[in-house]
Amino acid sequence: MENVLNLPKLVLLLVSLKILVVRAIPQSVLLPPAVATINVNNSTAPSTRFGEHEYAYVSSWPILARKLGSVSAVAIDGTGNIAIFHRASHVWTLNSFDSENRYQEATGGPIAESTVLTFRSNDGALLKEWGANIFYMPHGLTIDHEQNYWLTDVALHQVFKFDLDHSTTEPVLTLGTRFEPGNDMYHYCKPTSVAVLKSGEFFVADGYCNGRIVKYTAEGLPIMSWGRNSFVLTRTFTLPPGPVPESFFAIPHALTLANDRALLCVADREQGRIQCFHTGNGTFHSQYSSPEMIGSRLFSVKYIATDGGLLYTINGPQFELNAKPVGGYIIEMSSGSVVGRFQPNNTKHAFSNPHELAVTDDGSDVYVAELDPQMVHKFRRITRATSNPGEHTSSSDTYATRVNGHLVANGMSSVMTAGSIGIFSIVSSIIVTSLLVILMARVVCFRSGQGSSRLDEVPLRSMTLDEA
């Protein structure tokens, strides 16, 4: 009878066990997914995934008899030809600007040589050139869906839009005031890059001093801005102590649009991260960074919609003890995994100071503009047969999900997803319920029997979740 009276204690123990199991599940995992998503996976993905995005270096491209200056930008036009923006004989040094960011070499005149050159993609032959006697310190080049050329000049503190069918000497739109840095909606301070929506609205990364993004109407009227610096960079771009918060930039250096996601992604150079924002209102969406793999500096980013959405990026020289190798990386946007890399395969053409990149829409070719050595690199994707498509996803992928403003690191190999949590809860409920039924049946048996059996003579086998 004493053992029968202990049954309620056993029932209470089992119920408590179920409650403990449910409470053991992290509450952050049970929350619905937040809008902001991922940081780059620092683990090495399987070779099958890297094989899908493997590139070979194309030497002797482009074909050009004369020497280029520092190549600050590269872009692909609507016919697939490759345009570059270079500085010719002008060099950006620590003495190029004063403490108020005013260009100190304006009296030397603009660059006398052509600064914009267009090459045929397949053989690198020079097709056309223009841009002489206009620019002082070229930086960004964007070719929009209507084949307008958008160029930024950090010395002039200006942004230019050229319609080549109209003129290669007179821009159809000029923003900013010549040689005059500023921080209102009609002045820039060393603008770096432009991105243009299909609607004609566009974004300017106003870059080295103001650290902000400005959105404009198609006519060039300011709509909004975000990310103005809450800190001051030194002339050598040294950051103050502490992290730079989200939606702020330590040099927004390059822009790319993910039109299918309605996102604008920004290469936040001195923070070594990519930040993405909603194109409609500029609110923060997601962030990608990998100090362990890519490092602390990140110079450019380009998005392509193939393979579920990929971000191509390049880091640059890093002045620290644990500096990462300079190279190109391909990030899968949905998971944050690095799924490919690209870099020259010989020391003669090794990356030193890559500054900007361009990628074809299908990801077949990648072009990288280099400041020093002064050149353009080309890479072509290697096509290989995939033996097992099921191996595309790695079980070791890791990412960080932002929940209610907090990063919660998740390793998919060790942390349960929402689906597995549901299954686990159902299985545990079935097990506990079954045990309760068995125990209640024994209670009935004891009450109807002759009492010759003792509960401690029929030991209850312990069942673990692994055995269920």
Return the CATH number of the domain spanning residue range 50-381. 2.120.10.30
CA dihedral defined by 7, 13, 16, 22, rounded to 10 degrees? Answer: -110
Between residues 46 and 383, the one the model is more confident about:
383
Q: Which residues, other chains included, contact 134 with Cβ-Cβ below 8 Å and sequence gap of 6+?
A: 110, 111, 115, 160, 169
Exposed e or buried b for every residue in 62-85, given b needs 16+ CB within 10 A?
Answer: bebeeebbbbbbbbbbeeebbbbb
Q: What is the rounded CA–CA span in Å between residue 388 and residue 125?
A: 40
* Residues 289-297, mean pLDDT to the nearest whole number: 91
A 10 A CB-CB count for 169 gives 11
Identify which has the larger pLDDT, 252 or 393: 252
Indicate the range of 3-12, 380-389, 456-465 predicted with least confidence: 456-465
pLDDT for the residue numbered 439 = 52
State the chain's mean pLDDT as an integer: 79
Quote the CA–CA distance of 104 and 283 in Å, as a whole number. Answer: 37
Tell me how far apart the alpha carbons of residues 314 and 366 are, in angstroms, rounded to a whole number: 11
List binding-site positions for Zn(2+): 139, 253, 355
Residue 3 has pLDDT above 90, yes or no: no
- Residue 295 · residue 265 · CB < 8 Å: no
Torsion angle of C-alpha atoms 431, 435, 436, 440, degrees rounded to 10:
150
| Mean pLDDT across 117-124 | 98
- Residue 247's pLDDT band, with cuts at 50, 70 and 90, is confident
Top mean pLDDT of 233-242, 304-313, 342-351, 416-425 is at: 304-313
Which residue carries 């330590």 as its tokens?
Answer: 250
Indicate the annotated binding residues for Ca(2+): 74, 141
Least reliable range by pLDDT among 9-23, 80-94, 260-274, 370-384: 9-23
Q: Which two tokens stand for residue 371?
A: 């400041």
- Give the per-residue pLDDT at 461: 31
> Quick one: tokens of 300?
């450019």
Per-residue tokens: 50: 């890297």
Q: How far apart are CA 88 and CA 71, in angstroms?
A: 8
Report the distance separating Cα 411 and Cα 71, nearest Å: 40
Cis status, amide bond into 62, omega within 30 of 0: yes
Binding-site annotation: residue ranges:
74, 87, 139, 141, 208, 253, 269, 355
User: What is the arithmetic mean of pLDDT over 360-378?
Assistant: 97
Stretch 387-407: mean pLDDT: 33
pLDDT digits (tens, 9 = 90+) for 438-460: 555 554 444 444 443 333 333 32
Q: Given a cut of 60, is residue 26 above it in pLDDT?
A: no
Place 192 in a pLDDT band, splitting at 50, 70 and 90. Answer: very high
Model confidence over 162-190: pLDDT tens digits? 999 999 999 999 999 999 999 999 999 99
Q: What are residue 119's DSSP bridge partners?
A: 82, 126
**pLDDT of 42:** 41
* pLDDT value at residue 246: 76
Q: pTM of this prediction?
A: 0.73
| Torsion angle, alpha carbons of 69, 70, 73, 79, to 10 | 30
Average pLDDT score over residue span 381-387: 69
- Domain ranges within the chain, ordered by starting residue: 50-381
Q: How confident is the model at residue 24 (pLDDT cuts 50, 70, 90)?
A: very low
Residue 125 has pLDDT above 60, yes or no: yes
Least confident of 6-10, 40-44, 204-208, 212-216: 40-44
Query: What residues are designated binding site for a protein?
Result: 87, 208, 269
pLDDT tier, 341 (very low <50, low <70, confident <90, very high otherwise):
very high
Cβ-contact 82, 119 below 8 angstroms: yes
Residue 257 pLDDT level (bands cut at 50, 70, 90)? very high
Q: And the tokens for 432?
A: 């506990």
In this prediction, what percent of the chain has a pLDDT beyond 70?
A: 68
The confidence band for 8, taking pLDDT boundaries of 50, 70 and 90, is very low
Paired tokens of 404 = 């209610």
Instruction: Tell me the C-alpha distance between 366 and 350, whole Å.
Output: 15
Mean pLDDT of 197-218: 97
